[in-house]
Amino acid sequence: MLYELQKNGQYEIAALLTTVTESYERISMHGVRNSLLERQAESLGLPLCKMYIPVKASNDVYEANLQKILRQYQAQGVNHVAFGDLFLADIKEYRLKNLSKLGMAGVFPLWGRNTSEMVKEFIQLGFKAVICCIDPKVLDPRFAGRTLDEDFLRDLPSSVDPCGENGEFHSFVFDGPLFKEPIKLSVGEIVSGFPSLAAMESKPIPSLFFVLGESPAAKYNFMTSPLEPAISSAHEVIKDEDGETLGSHFAPALRRSLTTSGCSF
């Protein structure tokens, strides 16, 4: 999705926004370790915003935390949120409904794409991903931890969407055209249940969706945004007006100054 957004050039990327389960320090649903998430954002050269939710959080808790986070971005001029959804209309409607409460708009750059063609293009472009979790009801556990390549697609049952859009599997992208350098990782033991069937360990480095700021110009060349001098990576805790912790901003060592959104971290 990020590749399509940058290729289109209509939006300026303000930050990557990902939900993290507090007690586990892993991406909710995907089970990817927090350290890998940070390394991914750092290699992409983009700010990362982590929204925390408790274990077994209800939809109400998720939606409340998300609204508080997005209101802070909205106050800085961000009016759009991009999602990587492909064809599940009910999920798209759910996202749009939540955004409408804030007066924000959704962007779906991959919507309606043929998933078989898209995943093949993903591989041909040079992106690399590892399967971080699977649904054992539809896939053999041995699929967990595999690389998403032609062999993986060939072995998939015909009933499984090649992009895992029905929740059959989730993946973690660790290399490709947008990365300054590959994310070094190793695939650990296969475990059953949360956080994932393939526990990935970081070596000695959206989401679900991306927060966007629309350029005042009809088109905006993402790559023209000036680079600030390199700084040490740092975390900034996000709190609401009552002092409650909602999440954190992670500032990569190389940060992008975002002219129109005001979301430079």
262 found inside a domain:
no
Instruction: Let me know: does 147 contact 129? Beta carbons within 8 Å.
Output: yes
Cβ within 8 Å of residue 158, ≥6 positions away? none
265 found inside a domain:
no
Backbone angles phi, psi at 230, to 5 degrees: -60, 140
> In terms of DSSP H, where are the helices of the chain?
2-8, 34-44, 59-74, 89-100, 115-124, 150-155
**CA–CA separation, 202 and 229 (whole Å):** 27
pLDDT at 43: 96
264 found inside a domain:
no
92 found inside a domain:
yes
pLDDT at 46: 95
176 found inside a domain:
yes
Domain of residue 198: give its range.
2-205+208-251
257 found inside a domain:
no
21 found inside a domain:
yes
Tokens 């100054």 -> residue: 257
261 found inside a domain:
no
Instruction: Count the domains in the chain.
Output: 1
**CA–CA separation, 263 and 160 (whole Å):** 39
Q: What count of residues does the chain have?
A: 265
Q: Which two tokens stand for residue 107?
A: 């962007």
> pTM of the predicted model, to two decimals?
0.75
Tokens 């802070």 -> residue: 72
List the Cα angle 232/210/156 in 5-degree steps: 110
What is the SS3 assignment for 158? coil
Parts of the chain with a pLDDT under 50: 195-235, 251-265
Q: Which residues are bridge partners to 129 per DSSP?
A: 173
**CA–CA separation, 87 and 105 (whole Å):** 18
To the nearest 5 percent, what fractions of the chain are helix, strand and coil? Answer: 25, 25, 50
Q: Which two tokens stand for residue 254?
A: 């190389």
